A and B are shown apart, each in its own frame.
Chain A
Amino acid sequence: MTPTRVPVVEKILDANDQVAQQNRALFDHHRTFAINVMASPGAGKTTFILKTLEGLSPRYRMAVIEGDTAPVTIDADKISALGLPVVQINTGGDCHLDAVMLHAGLQSLPLDGVDIVLIENVGNLICPAAFKLGSHLNLLVASTPEGDDKPYKYPNMYRGIDVLIINKMDLIPYIDFNMAYFQQGVEILNPGLRTFPVSAKTGEGMSEWINWLDEVVQQHRKK
């Protein structure tokens, strides 16, 4: 038996990326703008999403996909209470949504007439960064109590996003958060990244984000 080298050169997550492309095609077919919302646990993703839905209503018809590691419907129930379509994807303990899970979840969500779908990823700053979903916009909700060193510690997440929300700005007086140091890390990783400091709780800064998103979606729909 002679050992033989077989050249491969294939991206390890190529299969995921291909399904992500199918998801994107499905969104585009329905003219649905998809946003992948990522954050660490407790950054305020769900509150931010609820306030974003409020801000965009009634201009757009919206739906939400909730990724959760456990079969609890705490987040999904809050969306349902608004009377909007919501699908929960239980990852069964997995640390992220991947394109295949999203593809399966989309089977339960009729996209006809949905202008914007917000996909709430599993709370985690490492794994979701590696798995593309097929979304048009990758968004990170950072929050001030997490600390100003997070861009330095989770570079892949900060490199892969299109827009950054800095949530819980109302807590700045009570914590040690050096905004200049935080933003310097972001600038190294993702120069010129569009950033919105907000408090989803008080509503501070939310209108700037909503107006920007409105503009981005309008531009996208003209394509």
Chain B
Amino acid sequence: MLDDFLMRAILAGFGLALVAGPLGSFVVWRRMAYFGDSTAHAAILGVALSLAFDLSIYAGTVTVALSVALLVTALAARGQAMDTVLGVIAHSALAFGLVAISFVPSARVDLASYLFGDILAVGHADLAWIWTGALAVLALLAWRWQKLVTASVNEELAMAAGIDPRLERLVLSIALALVVAIAIRIVGSLLISAMLIIPAAAARRFAATPERMAAAASVIASFSVLAGLAASYHIDSPAGPSIVAAAAIFFIIVQLVRFR
């Protein structure tokens, strides 16, 4: 079954969808969209470094993504205007990544696959990485869930309950870096944060609690994976962008439906 490239693609997409629901919900709740972009764009730099030094793509991207996430968190703590800082970092990370990758001959060929993903080329090893990463992030989020949600609702309430909001922010940064690393093969650096935000934003329309929103976002993301891959199969559209486009269509549909 796993020998079929389409089956591997679906499983890889489901791995990402599973974790994109809860993590994407935090990105929406905490207004981390730009933060997600910075981290995801930095992954291109990670790809360049991995190829140049002959490292695993996953190790390279997670390292660079985590460094950028920590850098952004540190700058935010110093009271910089977040919007501007993130704008600077998100785009300069991408620019540096593209410059760096141009010096790596082997990567230049399939630059597009890192920018937009190449889910149809996912191999067995990729699947193992993706699912290990996804389950690790899910476990991390489940472990900290109550604290993360409390800190997202109100930091003062969290602190009064003995929760350190800075620690929870760090947990989310780590989770984001891991998800960026697993998503780069699937939807690519440019569309990772879309895959986090769009399903969660769609789920927000009808979910009554944080848990239901996270679960519904995972379901929407999974359907987006199926729909995107189907489109790619039938009309030969690029798979990664098709998945995100499918998620966007789900988003539009739920905006049109009246709930409650």
B is a partner of A:
no
Give B residues with C-beta under 8 Å from A: none
